[in-house]
Amino acid sequence: MKILIAGAGRLGSQIAQVLAAGNNDVTLVEQDGTRLSALAHLSRVRLVLGDACDTSLMEHAGSLTCDLVIAATGRDEDNLVISMVAKRRFGVARVAARVNDAENAWLFDQRWGVDVAVPTATPLISLIEEATGATDTVALLRLSKAGVEVMETAITERSRAAGHTLGEISLPAGTVVASVVRDGRPTVPGPDMRLLPGDELLLVSHEATEHEIHAAFQ
């Protein structure tokens, strides 16, 4: 699937990492150069500097051949414009948009080109399921084409993994930690990274179940 994500904040960058892990063709557009530079380590994600409200920039980023556009900026007005341009100008089959202010939710419908309106509090995996049209009975994004599953788990003060390094944790076979999100910033972790309460982990696995992931960290 070819996917364009507008907005490289916490939400947009997390979505990009998860979808790229499933061998999707992912492009991330962001007008803040500093923020984009901080994501240079995302080797599987194409990074484009510019304003996603600009039709010429969107065309350059590949909107004409996209299967899905996700408008994930922190401004509702921008997300609406991006959605409208994606649907009306470029004919994108599926458009999802983040709703930052609940009072604006009524605007996010097909009149503005929005197929899926996602409140800001929606969990990451649920958002991706809605945007891509995927469903899963255990609230996981199953990437069937890649033969992997992407799961998330959060570290709390009660988690057995809190205070331990990733290298000290016995992961299920065929499982890797793709990203650790701390203070809103995603990081590709090494084995020496010590997990702290508040950390959110994205894991990619060929074999593990949700129960096995929970047992390893919680």
**Contact between 76 and 6 (Cβ < 8 Å):** no
Q: Where are the domains positioned within the chain?
A: 2-132, 147-217
Q: Which tokens hold the place of 205?
A: 């696995």
CATH superfamily of 147-217: Regulator of K+ conductance, C-terminal domain (3.30.70.1450)
**Contact between 73 and 50 (Cβ < 8 Å):** no
Q: Is 25 exposed, middle or buried (0-12, 13-18, 19+ CB in 10 A)?
A: middle
- Consecutive H or E run containing 192: none
For the cut 90, the answer to whether the pLDDT of residue 194 exceeds it is yes
Question: Of 29, 38, 42, 33, nearest to 188 (Cα)?
Answer: 42
* DSSP state letters, 106-124: GG-SGGGT-SEEEETTS-H
Decide which of 185 and 135 is more confident.
185
**Contact between 4 and 70 (Cβ < 8 Å):** yes
The average confidence (pLDDT) of the chain is: 84
Q: Which tokens hold the place of 123?
A: 């969990």
Lowest mean pLDDT across 95-99, 106-110, 116-120, 183-187: 183-187
Q: Which pLDDT value is given to residue 130?
A: 66
Give 134's Cβ-side CA count (13 Å radius).
21
Four-way CATH pick for 2-132: 3.40.50.2000, 3.40.50.720, 3.40.50.970, 3.40.50.170: 3.40.50.720
Per-residue pLDDT band for 141 (boundaries 50, 70, 90) equals very low
**Contact between 44 and 25 (Cβ < 8 Å):** no
Average pLDDT score over residue span 15-44: 86
- Consecutive H or E run containing 143: strand 141-143
For the cut 90, the answer to whether the pLDDT of residue 187 exceeds it is no
Could you tell me whether strands 200-205 and 185-187 are parallel, antiparallel, or unpaired per DSSP bridges? Answer: unpaired
Whether this prediction's pTM lies above 0.75 is answered by no
Question: Of 145, 118, 113, 142, nearest to 24 (Cα)?
Answer: 145
Average pLDDT score over residue span 146-172: 84
Decide which of 155 and 23 is more confident.
155
Decide which of 144 and 60 is more confident.
60
pLDDT in tens, 31-70: 999 999 988 887 789 999 999 999 999 999 999 999 999 9
Per-residue pLDDT band for 136 (boundaries 50, 70, 90) equals very low
pLDDT above 70 coverage of the chain, percent: 84
Decide which of 110 and 149 is more confident.
110
Per-residue pLDDT band for 145 (boundaries 50, 70, 90) equals very low
Average pLDDT score over residue span 13-40: 86
Exposure pattern of 156-172 as b/e (b: 16+ CB <10 Å)? eeebebbeeebeeeebb
